[in-house]
Each structure stands twice: as C-alpha cells, then as structure tokens.
Amino acid sequence: MIDARLYLEYIRALDIRIQMKMRQIQHMRDSLTSISSSTDQEHVSKTRNDSVMADTIAKIADIEKEIRHQATDLVAKKGEAIRLMDQLDADQANILSGYYLERRTTKELADSMYISRRQVERKISAAICEFQRVLSERQSPESVQESENGMLQRSILN
C-alpha cells in the first residue's frame, strides 16, 4: 500500500528538484556570458575558455534533458493526484492541492483561509487520512476484475 503523505511529498519534492535545476541552468547561462571565446584572429586553435564554454553548454543540455523527463513525470503524477483529490471533500482537496501541488506554505494557506497555522496543519493531517483512504481504494483493472468475481461468487453462494 502506498503511503499518502509520501506519495504527495514525492510530487512536491520533484517539483522543487525541477525548480532547482532550472535555477542551476540559469546560473550556468549567466556564467557563459562572462566567458569570452577566442576570436578568429587568434592563432591558438583551442583556448581554455572554449573548452569551458563547450563543457558548460554540454552540462546545460544534459540538465535540460533531465528536466524534461522529470517534468513529464511531474505532470503525470500531479494529474493522477488531482483525479484522486476529486474524490475528496472540496476543502480537503483544496488544502492538499495548495500545500503539495502548489507548494504553498502553511502560513500562506492560513492567511488565505483566515485561520491559524496550527488549524491548517490539522486540516492537512485530516485530509491526508482521507486521501489515504482514496489511495487505498484505488485498484488496478485486474484487482477490480478479481474483486467483482469474488463478489459474484459470494452472491451465488448466498
């Protein structure tokens, strides 16, 4: 069984990792502007700056590829989480979505809901319990078929 809090924390952490990598890329691009390459008039075939630029560009390309893969995973996970949250009470879905999917802080949520941070924390805990129930009820098509067959067999025997 999947733990609801870990499931949602994974989504939140994945979003944070993507944002960190995007900042890293921006920093690397900024550093590229401070590196000068050799001009055509110089007789040196390859300078240290050219090598640094090439390495930095290659690293940027690698990180962008990682971001694309992680972003695809993030979109899929968020979509799945939203579909599951649709089965919750609107207030519970709103608080979980705000905290885990929108990455809002408990203070931001408290301010927008005009309640204390402690009340937000309690609401998150209660919503996690309900989300756990929904997550536990989620079944694969094979287990749904097995469940339906089991109910059919029980109804025949009774």
Domain boundaries, the chain: 4-34+50-135
pLDDT at 41: 55
Q: Which residues touch 81 (CB under 8 Å, ≥6 apart)?
A: 7, 8, 11, 100, 101
Predicted confidence at residue 46, as pLDDT, reads: 52
Spatial CA neighbour of 102 closest among 135, 121, 74, 70: 74
Whole-structure pTM value: 0.74
d(CA 63, CA 114): 41
Average pLDDT over residues 25-52: 71
CA distance 32 to 53: 6
| pLDDT of 33 | 84
Tell me the mean pLDDT in the region 9-16: 96
What per-residue confidence (pLDDT) applies to 34? 78
Q: Please give the average per-residue pLDDT across 18-43, as a whole number.
A: 80
Quote the percentage of the chain above a pLDDT of 90. 70
Mean pLDDT of 38-52: 61
Q: What is the mean pLDDT of residues 13-25?
A: 97
The residue written with tokens 């996970």 in the block is 77
pLDDT at 147: 43
What's the pLDDT score for residue 47?
62
Taking the C-alpha atoms of residue 121 and residue 105, their distance in angstroms, rounded to an integer, is 10
- CB count within 10 Å of CB 109 equals 21
Predicted confidence band at 151 (pLDDT cuts at 50, 70, 90)? very low
pLDDT for the residue 142 = 45
Average of per-residue pLDDT across 79-93 = 97
The predicted pLDDT at position 90 comes to 96
